[in-house]
Amino acid sequence: MNAHEITPGVFAIHADIKSAARFEGIWPIPHGVTLNSYIVKGEKTALIDLAKDWSGSIEQYERQLETAGTSFEAIDYLILNHLEPDHTAFIVELRKRNPKAEILSTPKGIALVKNFFKIPEGLREVKTGDSLDLGAGRVLEFFETPNIHWPETMMTYDRAGGTLFSCDAFGSYGTLGDRVFDDEFTAEEHAFYEHESLRYYSNIVSSFSAFVTKALDKLKALEVKTVAPSHGIIWRKNPKTICDRYAKYAGYNTGTAPCEKEICIIWGSMYGYTKAGLEAVIAGIEAEKVPYTIHQVPDTDASFVLADAYKAAGLVIAMPTYEYKMFPPMAHILDLFERKHFTGKKALRIGSWGWVGGAKKEYEERIAAFKWTSVESVEWQGVASEADLALLKERGRELAKLVKE
């Protein structure tokens, strides 16, 4: 794989990560993920963002650096937009191989270089408004964009070419192979990456949506011709596509964009009695012709549940009582909803119980802070009666109507 030239003297390099190991140790990546970095050449050479040694990433980087006419040993500057180890862990080895390369990051980023990686010297703090002159007319500018994804995060901008190096922002799961630019993929491939960008956003970025919105506002002052993130596709033909997509995603849980008029059904059942009640709810939803996705827990990994639940205006939470409390796999999902700030949903919770209830109480306590609009819950003991089933169908209709509003 060769480096890909974005504009003269600016190259993308990337590693396709195909690994059974989960991203961040949590999120499955059945379609892989990329780590992207960028070489910018003036009289001096800068490497923007790095990688961790994972699934042959460093060997992939070395081959592409060579095709860009440079190497880890030859770079003059290492610019770190973000210090999470997927973009930085190789820094310890890089410093041994190239002790002269100066490392630039925000003050909080430099503190992490010192304290996390124990690298004390050859560091430069940069802030919004600062720049790095590489010579030959190539100047890189820095913009602090805290909390996309960590507090130290910034973006780097090449004004001459209009390329924005945005790190985690505008990223996606999914490997790329030999093509890296948006205009090199088919509509079907874009549909795949769109879903993987939603899954990435809901898993990694959604907690920080308010900061994404702020950063998007700041970026309006720049003439961005190419969006160059550190995961996934590089957007040179239609950079607005990914910016608009991120604005929409950020709006789902901050209220600046409406969620999709659809329902995500999440269910778990111990012996099939909750499942039987859910079927009546689904009949009600179908009667109102509202589209829905459906995930059983724990069978479906939370990563995929989050993606569909994040974009949906409506949620059905179907689970039985387990040991006086919520069905544990659903408690895990609700814990993630809280951490990722899944606010503003319209929700219906149903479920059966055996000899005593309890899930309802714990559920209502858990969602109190979520700012959800709830359709009245339905609970029943064991086998749902005909009256229970009729009520469940009606509540399904009620939720569907709310979602359509």
Residues near ligand FEO, by CB under 6 A = 82, 84, 86-87, 149, 168, 230-231
| Minimum distance from residue 88 beta carbon to ligand FEO (Å) | 9
374/309 Cα distance (integer angstroms): 15
CA dihedral for 372, 378, 379, 384, sign (positive or negative): negative
d(CA 227, CA 74): 26
**Least distance in angstroms from the C-beta of 350 to ligand FEO:** 37
Structure tokens at 221: 């002052």
Nearer to ligand FEO, 163 or 166 (CB): 166
DSSP 213: H
Question: Which amino acid would we find at residue 397?
Answer: R
Distance CA 358, CA 127 (A): 52
- Rounded to a whole number of angstroms, the minimum distance from the CB of residue 58 to ligand FEO is 16
Kindly tell me which of 117 and 366 has the beta carbon lying closer to ligand FEO.
117
The rounded distance, in Å, linking the Cα atoms of 35 and 167 is 10
The CB-of-211 to ligand FEO minimum distance in angstroms stands at: 13
Residue closer to ligand FEO (CB basis): 87 or 349: 87
Phi, psi torsion values for 29, nearest 5 degrees: -130, 70
Contact 301, 336 (CB under 8 A): no
Sign of CA dihedral 333, 339, 345, 351: positive
From the list 324, 330, 331, 386, the residue with the least C-alpha distance to 356 is 324
Minimum CB distance to ligand FEO smaller for 84 or for 144 = 84
CB nearer ligand FEO, residue 231 or residue 346 = 231
What minimum distance in Å lies between the beta carbon of 118 and ligand FEO?
20
Residue (88 or 374) nearer to ligand FEO, CB:
88
Residues 6 or more apart whose Cβ sits within 8 Å of residue 190 = 182
Neighbours of 370 (CB within 10 A): 18
Between 54 and 273, CB nearer to ligand FEO: 54
Measured torsion, CA atoms of residues 308, 312, 314, 316, in degrees rounded to the nearest 10: 0
- Least distance (Å) from ligand FEO to the CB of residue 302? 18
Nearest distance from C-beta of residue 387 to ligand FEO, angstroms? 51
